[in-house]
């Protein structure tokens, strides 16, 4: 019989407003059955990465379709994964494989305001908060897990905590994440005459 547990978290910022784009990773503190990573895509829409924040399991491949009428040049200098996709429209023929855990920051060499984030984890249990600040992750079994949260504009490192998913198979919590807005230049917007 398959057991399904659920972790539900409501994330709010220091003004008590819902906070989107918070990553949640749950790392089992016990042996568990390995799962195949799921490939995904990060689009470019209206000169922005969509989704802006993504979580994938190590080993996943990500494609970078360009839905805009302008060309983009997607890259990352992050230690976790360095890559460069020169100016293109449409979808590059080869996805990028993310094979080690860590944070990858995405940029566009043409549009400086474009920033995206990919958190690569060894755990298959993760999620990202929606516009209402809601996060839900389903788990395969009860037990003890390390719960870690991250947000691009967090003011300080968020504490990793240990939680126990017991016989009730649910964990519910509200978390506050203090943020500071990042300043991003708009040197390369398409209205600026680049492409």
CATH number of the domain where residue 53 is located: 2.60.40.420
Taking 50 as the threshold, does the pLDDT of residue 84 lie above it?
Answer: yes
Which of 125, 147, 176 minimizes the C-alpha distance to 10? 176
Domain presence at residue 48: yes
Domain count, the chain: 2
* DSSP annotation string for 72-125: EEEEEE-SS-EEEEEEESB--SSPEEE-S-EEEEEEESS-TT-EEEEEEES-SE
Mean pLDDT calculated for residue range 143-166? 94
Name the residue range of residue 99's domain: 37-123
Residue 137 in domain: yes
Output the pTM of the full model.
0.89
- Mark whether 119 and 147 lie in a shared domain: no
How far apart (Å, rounded) are the C-alpha atoms in residues 112 and 108?
Answer: 6
Query: Is 189 or 143 the better-scoring residue by pLDDT?
Result: 143
Mean pLDDT, the chain, whole residue set: 90
Among 125, 140, 61, 55, which residue's Cα sits nearest to residue 93? Answer: 61
On whether both 62 and 88 belong to a single domain, the answer is yes
Domain C-terminal end among 123, 158, 181: 123
Co-location of 118 and 49 in the same domain: yes
Segment 117-132, tens digit of pLDDT: 999 999 999 999 999 9
Inside any domain, residue 194: no
Residue listed under structure tokens 């990858």 = 104
The SS3 of residue 31 is coil
> Residue 24: which CATH number?
2.60.40.10
Q: How confident is the model at residue 102 (pLDDT cuts 50, 70, 90)?
A: very high
Kindly tell me if the per-residue pLDDT of 185 is higher than 70. Answer: no
Q: Do 86 and 151 reside in the same domain of the chain?
A: no
Tell me which of 123, 151, 177 is where a domain ends. 123
For the chain, how far is it from start to end, CA to CA, in angstroms?
A: 56
- Nearest-angstrom CA–CA distance, 75 and 98: 13
């Amino acid at each position: 019989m398959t057991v399904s547990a659920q972790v539900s978290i409501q994330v709010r910022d220091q003004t008590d407003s819902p906070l989107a784009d918070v990553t949640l990773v749950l790392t089992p503190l016990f042996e568990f059955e390995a799962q195949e990573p799921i490939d995904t895509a990060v689009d470019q829409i209206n000169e922005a990465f969509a989704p802006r924040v993504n979580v994938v399991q190590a080993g996943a491949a990500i494609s970078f379709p360009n839905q805009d009428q302008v060309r983009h040049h997607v890259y990352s200098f992050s230690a976790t994964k360095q890559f460069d996709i020169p100016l293109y429209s449409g979808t590059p023929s080869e996805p990028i494989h993310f094979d080690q855990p860590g944070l990858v920051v995405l940029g566009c060499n043409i549009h400086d305001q474009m920033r995206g984030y990919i958190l690569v984890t060894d755990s298959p249990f993760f999620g990202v908060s929606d516009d209402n600040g809601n996060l839900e992750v389903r788990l395969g079994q009860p037990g003890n897990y390390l719960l870690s949260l991250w947000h691009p504009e967090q003011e300080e490192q968020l504490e990793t905590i240990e939680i126990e998913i017991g016989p009730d198979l649910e964990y519910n919590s509200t978390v506050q994440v203090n943020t500071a807005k990042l300043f991003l230049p708009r040197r390369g917007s398409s209205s600026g005459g680049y492409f």
